[in-house]
Chains A and B, each alone.
Chain A
Amino acid sequence: EAGVTQFPSHSVIEKGQTVTLRCDPISGHDNLYWYRRVMGKEIKFLLHFVKESKQDESGMPNNRFLAERTGGTYSTLKVQPAELEDSGVYFCASSQVTGSYGYTFGSGTRLTVV
């Protein structure tokens, strides 16, 4: 089966611009998660979708971040406007079972804001 696919793999944008990251989960996985790792920090939870509904968005840093999962398939994470501190690696993961093991992570999108 195909894994979790994220693109772009790398994005460099200027402060103030908008960037949209995309995640295609494993087919049939209702649970989709976004995590990110900023420089020198641990990987941290951003939010969790079950199908198209946001189950938990407690990790979203501020209202410059908007996640969507229309139709319960792929998801997008938009950052608008981007700030320097948004630089990091954004990971998407999916799972079939709602719970906290058995995630499959994508390779991540490395975002650099200059």
Chain B
Amino acid sequence: QKEVEQDPGPLSVPEGAIVSLNCTYSNSAFQYFMWYRQYSRKGPELLMYTYSSGNKEDGRFTAQVDKSSKYISLFIRDSQPSDSATYLCAMSSYNKLIFGAGTRLAVHP
């Protein structure tokens, strides 16, 4: 069983839609939870990180962590074509990241 499970998609939505991306994990020692965005031929770019359970909002992006269910989510409101990318969840207990497979998102005009 993988430590982090993420549906690879692809996910295709119309512009303006609310997008929900999710990951589940098995290691209860994870303390930091991150979402990265990766454009084609580029490296992952940190979007948001949270420590422990709760919500965090940054503009159109909201990250949620539910440690009791070992489930994290990223919501994108008013999605734009420029949001089209691969979204990777990542988790850590100290000095290394464990990534999900990444979900490919396409937002069409």
A residues whose Cβ falls under 8 Å from a Cβ of B: 4, 33, 35, 41-45, 48, 55-56, 59, 91, 93, 98-108
A33 to B97, CA, bound (A): 10
A108 vs B88: C-alpha distance when bound (angstroms): 16
Spell out B's residues near A (CB within 8 Å): 2, 4, 32, 34, 36, 41-46, 49, 88, 92-102
Smallest CB separation, A1 vs chain B (Å):
15
A98 to B96, CA, bound (A): 10
Q: How far is the CB of B45 from chain A (nearest CB, A)?
A: 7
- 16 residue pairs A–B, Cβ–Cβ below 8 Å: A43-B44, A43-B88, A44-B99, A45-B98, A56-B96, A59-B96, A98-B95, A100-B93, A100-B94, A101-B32, A101-B34, A101-B46, A102-B49, A103-B97, A104-B46, A108-B43
Interchain CB contact (< 8 A) of B43 among A4, A44, A56, A101: A4
Instruction: Determine whether the beta carbon of B94 is less than 8 Å from that of A99.
Output: yes
Taking a contact as CB atoms closer than 8 A, the residue among A42, A104, A105 that contacts B100 in the complex is A42
